[in-house]
Structure formats: structure tokens, C-alpha cells
Amino acid sequence: MNTKLFIALMITVVSFETHGQGESLITSPQYDISKISLQNNGVKASTNGWIRRLNYSWIGFSGQEEWGITDGVERTFSPTNLLLHEINKDRDQSTSVWRNTKKIEYHYLPNKKVNEMYSYSWTGSSWDQDVKWVGSYTSFDSIQSVIQYSDDQGTWNQEGKTDYTYDGNKFMIEVNGKSWDIQNSKWDDDYSLILKNNSQGYPIEILGIICVIGPCDTAIRLTYNWDINNNLSQLTEEDFNAGNWLVSSQTKFLYDSNNKLISEVEESEDGGTWTVTSSITYAYNSDGTIHEELTQVIDGTSLVNATKSVYGYKEFPLSEKAESKHSKIEIYPNPTTGILNLFFDKQELQQIEIVNIAGEKVHSETVVARQYQVDINHLNAGIYFVNISNDSDEIVVRKIVKQ
């Protein structure tokens, strides 16, 4: 069973526990166990407070690839920094117009804990409410139960339920998922997660039991290793097959001197040999907030770009108009032998970064001008990408060729 699919069973409790701090996980396509301890210990790769996330895919033919924006997420907060809405949008590649797809809405208790979450789908002209989650809490303010309902022409029908059990130290030790049997009016077991924790409440093992088809069977075991700073250093996945545990994958995590997650590398095992299958690297702003997540996958023997997400912290809408604000940028000559001429439609602070096809930053400078020259004579011949951002967090990416 795929690790991320199995861990997705935990997303609802994580969302209920952390959204009061402005954190969102339920709609994150790249959600991974590395970012959460499954207790109340917070997020490893801090993404608190971001307002906009742009998701890119590496597209094109061999040697002509470039980053293309595929979709994005907008978030709105209350004056007290409570997350109110997350809106997912797709971007039409031919017209650059953004279209609504999904919305999550959060409701809070007086103690700033989420007690209800609503999911909406975009019909083309309005939002259609389709799913809601209702949560309840223990006396020590940890999530106790979450019930999922689906909307049927204005009537909410219960569909699923997740119950959480804690030990005397208030550490989560068991999660039980159930589905509603409408014919027999009872809850049927779907899965269980059995957690073992260390003395600080961090999980060291999660045993997964699946009951969806036939009798309940042990399916998966996840083992966690933590370093002296309580950072997750390795996650190992084992599948249960014919009475034996078989290691299927492991993920290793690397942190900087400030204990910020900077990379995670996933490996698969085949006949005793470990092979890298994918990696995620993280880049941060000077204030410690996350700026970019870059995902690469194995192609032959090398890692190649696959997707990336860029985070923004200043508000502007994902729309055709917003994108056109920064569209009047000219870069020439292209190809170039060493000098790039840049022309902007207005004079303001511009951050210029140049990255190679491996995603590595090779040049960076900040300017305030409408015309500017960038000297890249020191770069080797090849394909590069010029990332230009301004003080409004607008981003433009241009591909160039250095001869």
C-alpha cells in the first residue's frame, strides 16, 4: 500500500489540530508525513501564513523543457490570523485565465480550534457545497472524533467517522476509521492505526490495519527515526505479505543549522539494493518562511525536474489581470553570448534569479530600474531560467539559452 495514500487517512485530524495556527494540509497535493509529527508538535517545513501558492510542472520536449503554471491555491485569514478559506484554481494554458475548482471553508470554536470544515465545488458560476467535517475535542483540547457528511440536495448524510484514542500522557495511540452502513444503520470498521510513541510523544511506529474488503488485515508498518533536535530523520515503509514484513521504501530528511527541512529523498529497495526514486528540496525566504518546494523524479539514473510550488505572502488574486501586471518584461538577446538586456514596464524593486536546468540558483541580484543589463559570461553554455519577482510577489519565468 502506498505510504502517502495511507497517511492521507490522517489528514483530517492534522487539519483540525493545526488550522487555528494558520496552517493548511488538507488540500496540499504534496502532503507528506515529514511535515507533521501526528501529535500537536507542529509542522516541520513551516508554511504558516502563506496567502498564495503557485504549482508548476516541468513540461516540453527533451532539451526544450520549461516551467508551466498548472494550478494554484489562495488563502484568506481573519484579523486574528485564523485561516478562513482555501480556494484551489486551475490555469488554462492557452488563455492564462484562472478558474475556480475547489474551496475549503473553516469554522472555529471560541478557543480557536476548528470544529467544522466545508468543501465546495465550482459549478462554473457559483460554489456548490458537497462535503463537511464536524469535529469534537477531548477535555485536554486534542481531537477526539471527526464525522464526514455528504450533501444530498440540501440534506447532510453521514458517510465516515474517525475516532482518536490517547494514553495517560495525552499522546495519540490509536486511530479508528469507520464508514456508515445506511442499510443497517451502523458504523463499519474501515481501518485502524496503532501508534507507538517515544517519551516526547513523537511516533516511532505506526501499524496500519485495513478492514475495507473482507476481514481486517495488517497491511503496513511505518517506522520513524528522530534526531536529537526532534527532527524526523528517516521514515521506513514495510508491507505485510504472506506473514512477513517486506521493506518497500525509505525516505531520508536533511535539515539546515536552523532545523529547517531542506530536502527529503525517497528510495526504493529491490533485492537488497536501494535506489533513489524522487526528491523534494525546500528553499526559504530570509524571514524563515518557505519560498519554494521542488520535486524531482528519477529518469534513468538522474533526477529530473517534475513539479514545484512557489509560495507568496502578499495578497493579489490569481487572475488574468493579475498576471498581466508583470507581463511587460522583455529579455534579449535570446540566445545570448553573455549579456542579457532587461526592460520592465515600470520602475520598482525587482529580484532577479537565474537557475539552471537542475533547479540550482546560479546568479542572483536585486535592481530598481526600468532597463538593466545582466552579465552571465561566467555561466556555462546551456539552458537557464530567469525568475523575476517584485515587491508585490508577482513572478515571471523566462527561459534563455546561453551560447
Which grid cell is 269? Answer: 529497495
Can you give the pLDDT at residue 233? Answer: 92
Say if CB 198 and CB 226 are below 8 A apart: yes
For residue 116, what are the CA distances in angstroms to 8, 107, 347?
19, 5, 46
For the chain, domains (ranges, CATH) are 3-312 (2.40.160), 325-402 (2.60.40.3080)
**Cα(391)–Cα(378) distance, rounded to whole angstroms?**
28
Which string of DSSP letters, residue by residue, matches 254-319? EE-TT--EEEEEEEEEETTEEEEEEEEEEEE-TTS-EEEEEEEEEETTEEEEEEEEEEE-S----S
Can you give the pLDDT at residue 313? Answer: 77
pLDDT tens-digit map of 82-138 = 888 899 999 877 777 888 999 999 998 888 888 899 999 999 889 999 999 998 999
**Cα(44)–Cα(261) distance, rounded to whole angstroms?**
7
Whether residue 271 is predicted with pLDDT greater than 60 in this model: the reply is yes
Most confident of 32-36, 41-45, 299-303: 299-303
Whether residue 40 is predicted with pLDDT greater than 70 in this model: the reply is no
Pairing mode, strands 143-152 and 302-312: unpaired
Is the model's pTM score more than 0.85?
no
Range 357-377 average pLDDT: 81
Say if CB 143 and CB 17 are below 8 A apart: yes
Q: How many CB atoms lie within 10 A of CB 292?
A: 17
Whether residue 13 is predicted with pLDDT greater than 50 in this model: the reply is no
The rounded mean pLDDT for the chain is 79
Whether residue 267 is predicted with pLDDT greater than 90 in this model: the reply is yes
CA gyration radius, the chain: 23
Whether residue 253 is predicted with pLDDT greater than 60 in this model: the reply is yes
Amino acid identity, position 374: V
Say if CB 144 and CB 136 are below 8 A apart: yes
Nearest CA-CA partner of 137 in 166, 101, 157:
166
pLDDT tens-digit map of 200-221 = 888 899 998 888 666 788 888 9
Can you give the pLDDT at residue 306? Answer: 93
pLDDT greater at residue 201 or residue 10: 201
Whether residue 62 is predicted with pLDDT greater than 80 in this model: the reply is no
Q: H or E stretch including 72?
A: strand 66-77
Burial (Cβ within 10 Å: 0-12, 13-18, ≥19) of residue 64: exposed
Q: Across-strand partners of 266?
A: 251, 278
Can you give the pLDDT at residue 3? Answer: 41
pLDDT tens-digit map of 145-154 = 999 999 998 8
Range 352-374 average pLDDT: 80
Which grid cell is 91? Answer: 490555469
Whether residue 403 is predicted with pLDDT greater than 70 in this model: the reply is yes
Say if CB 99 and CB 123 are below 8 A apart: no
